[in-house]
Amino acid sequence: MKWRLINSGFNSGEINMQFDVSLAESLPDGEAVLRLYRWKPFCISLGANQDKDIININKASDDGIDVVKRPTGGRAILHAEELTYSVVYPVSFQIPPKQLYSEINLAIKKGLVFYDSDFKDIQLENGQPHFPSFYTDQKSSICFAISARSELNYCEKKIVGSAQRKMKNNILQHGSILCGKKHLDIINYLNLSTDILLKLKQEIENSTTDIQSITGKKVDYEYFAEAIKTGFEEHFKIRFEINTNLKKNGFKIIG
Distance CA 187, CA 183 (A): 9
Residue 65 within a domain = yes
- Mean pLDDT calculated for residue range 39-64: 96
Q: Spell out the residues 6+ positions from residue 35 whose beta carbon is closer than 8 angstroms to its own.
A: 5, 6, 7, 8, 19, 20, 23, 85, 86, 87, 88
**CATH classification at residue 60:** 3.30.930.10
Are residues 197 and 205 in contact, defined by beta-carbon separation less than 8 angstroms?
Answer: no
- Cα(250)–Cα(231) distance, integer angstroms: 28
Burial string for 102-113 (b: 16+ CB within 10 Å, else e) reads bbbbbbbbbbbb
Residue ranges of the alpha helices (H) in the chain? 13-26, 57-62, 97-115, 131-134, 194-207, 211-215, 221-236
Residue 121 has pLDDT above 70, yes or no: yes
pTM of the model: 0.89
**Cα torsion for 191, 194, 196, 199, to the nearest 10°?**
130
Q: Please indicate, yes or no, if residue 248 is contained in any of the structural domains.
A: no
pLDDT tens-digit readout, 172-215: 999 999 999 999 999 999 999 999 999 999 999 999 999 999 99
- Pair 27, 63: CB distance under 8 Å: no
For residue 250, being part of any structural domain is answered with no
Average pLDDT over residues 102-125: 95
Q: Work out how many domains the chain is built from and give that number.
A: 1
pLDDT tens-digit series, residues 8-48: 999 999 999 999 999 999 998 899 999 999 999 999 999 99
Residue 13: predicted pLDDT = 98
- Confirm whether 115 is domain-assigned: yes
Q: What is the pLDDT of residues 209-227, one digit of tens each?
A: 999 999 999 999 999 999 9
- Residue 134's pLDDT band (cuts 50, 70, 90): very low
251 within a domain of the structure (yes/no)? no
Asked if residue 254 belongs to a domain, the reply is no
- What per-residue confidence (pLDDT) applies to 39? 98
Determine, yes or no, domain membership for 249: no
The residue segments making up the domain with residue 231 are 2-242
Rg (alpha carbons) of the chain, rounded to whole number: 17
Between CA 24 and CA 36 the distance in angstroms is: 15
Residue 255 lies in a domain: no
